[in-house]
Amino acid sequence: MSTHLPVLQVVVPLLAAPVCALIRNARAAAVIAVLASWATLAIALSLLGDVMSAGVISYAIGDWVPPIGIEYRVDIVNAWVLVIVSTIASVVAPYMITSVADEVARGRIPLFYAAYLLCLCGLLGITITGDVFNVFVFLEISSLSAYALIAMGTRRRALTAAFRYLIMGSVGATFIVIGIGLLYVMTGSLNMADLAVLLPEVWDSRTVKVAYGFLGVGFCLKLALFPLHLWLPNAYAFAPSAVTAFMASTATKVAVYMLLRFFLTIFGAPFSFGVMALDRVLLPLALVAIVSMSLVAIFQVDVKRLLAYSSVAQIGYMVLGLSFASVTGLTATLLHLFNHALMKGALFMAMGCVVYRIGSVHIDAMAGLGKRMPWTMAAFVLGGLSLVGVPLTVGFVSKWFLILGALERGWWPVAVIVLLASVLALVYVWRVVEAAYFRPYGGDEGGPREAPWRLLVPTWALVGANLYFGISAVRTAQVAERAAEVLMTGVGP
């Protein structure tokens, strides 16, 4: 059975989703969703282990030999992303049971889990497949289910937020499929490894460059790079809390992976950095995203929106690492995929606990919560410290590699901007801390109590991971560095 692991990674959630929709029992659907999420984590860890020791794994769907058939191709880069996505899924899924029962209409809960599993299936599929058209198919699966998940938010504005995301997401997906179509026209192949071999012969053609442009805009829409991020803040602010925690830690990460996979593996680093000057395009956008979005975050009063804007800024860090065009820079990007998933997951889950007890995340409604909900707010503080980049948290590890990458290129002003942006992060995290700990509680005595342990345990699991991987970053850094080397050298025979 172990030879089938690459396809099982996708098939387990794909099979679990219709079962959830068929049984129409909220509790049973929740159990299935949790078990399926844990199964994907077990498979992803086992795949990462295999790839670290034995190299690339290739799986031919339907026994059709690649490049003719669809190939699932696991190398160290996507094994790493698979682990990120499935880790977050297996922590958020148990959290969903309590959080979703509170926020989603009872009759819709089984369908909610079906949509969640389809979204997970799509994200894992995008990551594992070695076929560019298959990427598009899974992209649509994950996006369509994401729109449905966001629309299930409690407030009516969730519907407009989901619709806006639908329009922007569809534009992005269309751009991506146009780019894929142009590549197919030029090479006659859809297999990634095959494309990487065939493309250098047609580098000079304008069609390939246009395809590159379409793909670039499409990916940047999907990963919400400034200035194409406008769909993100509302989508994250109005989605159910568990969905926000899941999407913020996985969806944009997978979009960054797509960008890296297409531009570095398929087109190759020499084409991206040499011919298309990708680094010079992305560098200013990333820096503007980091600074401007951190500034916007400072002036938000809804804490979920505040964190959403902070996410756009953090995506800037990931893109910044890519724009260094070096192994160190890419290591920073790949590390930050994991680290940011841990910190934003923890922060959004802490906010989910607040929503569970007081039904709002307005900054004034959170006054005095530090005493009322000590564990929840402590989780927020630790997650916030990680976001700022304080030593002994994962945020510090990311920033360390980013600054190393900047200094390696001799771009010390960039390093200064990264450090200044950390101060901005400190400001917006502090605003929440100030409200929760230094303002008096305004309500009556029988006010909110601590969140239930079923929400706190998953939240603290991620907070613990923030500290653990912040203190012993050797293993994660090793994997990220090897993955970065694979991306920079391009696909081997």
Partner 1 sequence: MREEIIVRVGAKFLAPFIIMFALYVHFHGDYSPGGGFQAGVILAAAFALLALVYGLEAVQRVLPLWFTRMCAALGVLIFAGVGVVTMLLGHNYLGYNALAADPTHPEHGQHYGILLVELGVLVTVFGVMVTVFYHFAGRGRRDP
Stretch that binds partner 1, among 4-12, 314-322, 333-341, 377-385 (CB under 8 A): 4-12
Contact 132, 195 (CB under 8 A): yes
DSSP string, 71-136: EEEE-HHHHHHHHHHHHHHHHHHHHHHHHHHHHS-GGGHHHHHHHHHHHHHHHHHHHHB-BHHHHH
Contact 407, 482 (CB under 8 A): no
Size of the site for partner 1 (CB under 8 A): 16
Contact 293, 163 (CB under 8 A): no
Contact 425, 388 (CB under 8 A): yes
Which one, 78 or 331, has the nearer CB to partner 1? 78
Residues from 45 through 74 that contact partner 1 (CB under 8 A): 59-63
Instruction: Return the residue of 15, 57, 186, 467 that touches partner 1, per CB under 8 A.
Output: 15
* Residue 39 contacts partner 1 per CB under 8 A: no
Find the shortest distance in angstroms from Cβ 17 to partner 1. Answer: 7
Find the shortest distance in angstroms from Cβ 7 to partner 1. Answer: 4
Stretch that binds partner 1, among 16-24, 264-272, 309-317, 455-463 (CB under 8 A): 16-24
Which one, 137 or 281, has the nearer CB to partner 1? 137
CA atoms of 114 and 324, how far apart (whole Å) = 40
Instruction: Give 53-87 as a 3 state SS string.
Output: HHCCEEEEHHHCCCCCCCEEEECHHHHHHHHHHHH
State both tokens at 193: 């490894």
Which one, 193 or 337, has the nearer CB to partner 1? 193
Find the shortest distance in angstroms from Cβ 121 to partner 1. Answer: 10
Stretch that binds partner 1, among 9-17, 87-95, 260-268, 340-348 (CB under 8 A): 9-17
* Residue 7 contacts partner 1 per CB under 8 A: yes
Contact 462, 89 (CB under 8 A): no
Residue 301 CB contacts under 8 Å (≥ 6 apart), including other chains? 362, 363, 364
Residue located via tokens 């806006």: 164
Find the shortest distance in angstroms from Cβ 113 to partner 1. Answer: 12
Find the shortest distance in angstroms from Cβ 261 to partner 1. Answer: 22
Instruction: Return the residue of 32, 91, 93, 114 that touches partner 1, per CB under 8 A.
Output: 114
Which one, 19 or 288, has the nearer CB to partner 1? 19
* Residue 128 contacts partner 1 per CB under 8 A: no
CA atoms of 322 and 325, how far apart (whole Å) = 6
Chain contacts with partner 1 (rule: CB under 8 A):
4, 7, 11, 14-15, 17-19, 21-22, 59-63, 114
